[in-house]
């Protein structure tokens, strides 16, 4: 047993040293969050900023590039920053859905290099703390009376990931999601502001975004769209499935780089993440940010993302979002 522990420790140390050696070549590290502060992309960049702290010689800077739920960012990294060796861009499953449905125009999953995952998240049904909806059952009763009887909002337009979360619940009671009163925001931060300001009644966001709001008493989580109850700090919140609605929505979070970055630059970040995954600190950061472990980096991750986009094209066709 002692020999196994020593071998495992040696493997982690070797990984850390290798990651640090590669990461030393990353000058002025930057994570681009393609939205305004406060939403899921911000959260994703903070995981990289904190999680790679021991792997990088310089503290990673987080910059915000709102516009089109990632469209502005992917356009920039396909035009003026295609070979930027220092910058990674945050993305989520919603970004992949946008690619699958053509919302990023000509840019596809083959126009960037997918570097590493940050973890996995799940959809959440969120209302203001003083909302008339005290439970998911009450919200669903309102939808049964008419899809347009509830003002729903989220970060993304009709057909986006957040819209799909609401659509799945509405379809679960045989209602038409296209009749929903849906307000589109440019990111989760803006949607939360809209919820707190009373512009919308229900926010379909991500559970990870709620970590910093749990103790504030301003919002209430009606349900989580995970297959099973999540660990603390979300263990108290029921799942949509256990409440009688056969729906779930998992969200992968991660990072990409420009398609023309060198293998050296790409591998520097991939190896830095691999080294970080082996540490207890990274696992704690994931947990503190409300994410569950999903630790893949490099070429394996790139291949995984491309398969996910292809699967999403199939889902989008079934939902009538694309031909």
Read off the pLDDT of residues 263-319 as tens digits, 9 standing for 90 and up. 999 999 999 999 999 999 999 999 888 888 999 999 999 999 999 999 889 877 876
**What integer best gives the mean pLDDT of the chain?**
89
Confirm or reject CATH 1.20.1250.20 for domain 123-224, answering yes or no.
no
Read off the pLDDT of residues 142-200 as tens digits, 9 standing for 90 and up. 999 999 999 999 988 888 888 989 988 998 999 998 899 999 998 888 999 999 999 99
How far apart CA 258 and CA 260 sit, in angstroms, is: 6
- All structural domains of the chain with their residue ranges: 11-121+251-318, 123-224
Residue 11 has pLDDT above 50, yes or no: no
pTM of the model: 0.76
How far apart CA 128 and CA 169 sit, in angstroms, is: 19
In sequence order, what DSSP letters do the residues of 182-225 get, joined into one string? Answer: EEEESSHHHHHHHHHHTS-SEEEEEGGGGGGGTTTSSEEEEEE-
Residue 18 has pLDDT above 50, yes or no: no
> Average pLDDT in the 35-39 region?
88
Question: Which among 171, 109, 122 has a CA at the least distance from the CA of 311?
Answer: 109
Residue 125: DSSP 8-state: E
128 DSSP β-pair partners: 219
Confirm or reject CATH 3.40.190.150 for domain 11-121+251-318, answering yes or no.
yes
pLDDT at 23: 56
How far apart CA 47 and CA 63 sit, in angstroms, is: 14
How far apart CA 25 and CA 239 sit, in angstroms, is: 44
Furthest C-alpha separation in the chain: 65
Q: Do domains 11-121+251-318 and 123-224 have the same CATH topology?
A: yes
Residue 238: DSSP 8-state: P
> Average pLDDT in the 204-220 region?
87
């Amino acid at each position: 047993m002692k020999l196994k522990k020593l071998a495992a420790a040696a493997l982690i140390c070797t990984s850390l040293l290798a990651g640090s050696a590669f990461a030393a070549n990353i000058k002025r590290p930057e994570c681009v969050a393609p939205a305004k502060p406060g939403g899921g992309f911000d959260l994703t960049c903070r995981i990289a900023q904190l999680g790679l702290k021991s792997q990088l010689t310089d503290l990673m800077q987080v910059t915000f590039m709102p516009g089109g739920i990632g469209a502005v960012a992917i356009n920039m990294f396909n035009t003026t920053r295609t070979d930027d060796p220092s910058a990674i861009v945050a993305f989520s499953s919603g970004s992949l859905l946008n690619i699958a449905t053509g919302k990023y125009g000509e840019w596809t999953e083959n126009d960037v290099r997918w570097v590493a995952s940050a973890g996995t998240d799940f959809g959440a049904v969120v209302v203001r703390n003083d909302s008339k909806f005290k439970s998911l059952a009450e919200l669903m009763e309102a939808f049964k009376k008419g899809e347009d009887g509830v003002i729903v909002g989220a970060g993304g337009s009709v057909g986006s990931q957040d819209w799909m979360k609401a659509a799945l619940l509405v379809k679960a009671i045989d209602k038409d999601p296209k009749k929903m009163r849906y307000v589109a925001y440019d990111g989760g931060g803006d949607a939360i502001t809209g919820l707190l300001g009373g512009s919308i009644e229900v926010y379909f966001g991500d559970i990870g975004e709620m970590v910093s709001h749990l103790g504030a008493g301003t919002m209430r989580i009606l349900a989580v769209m995970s297959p099973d109850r999540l660990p603390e700090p979300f263990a108290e919140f029921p799942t949509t499935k256990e409440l009688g609605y056969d729906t779930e929505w998992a969200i992968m979070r991660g990072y990409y780089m420009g398609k023309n970055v060198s293998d050296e630059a790409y591998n520097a970040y991939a190896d830095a993440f691999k080294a970080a995954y082996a540490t207890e600190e990274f696992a704690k950061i994931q947990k503190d940010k409300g994410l569950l472990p999903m630790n893949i980096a490099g070429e394996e991750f790139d291949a995984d993302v491309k398969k996910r986009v292809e699967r999403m094209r199939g889902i989008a066709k079934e939902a009538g979002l694309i031909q």
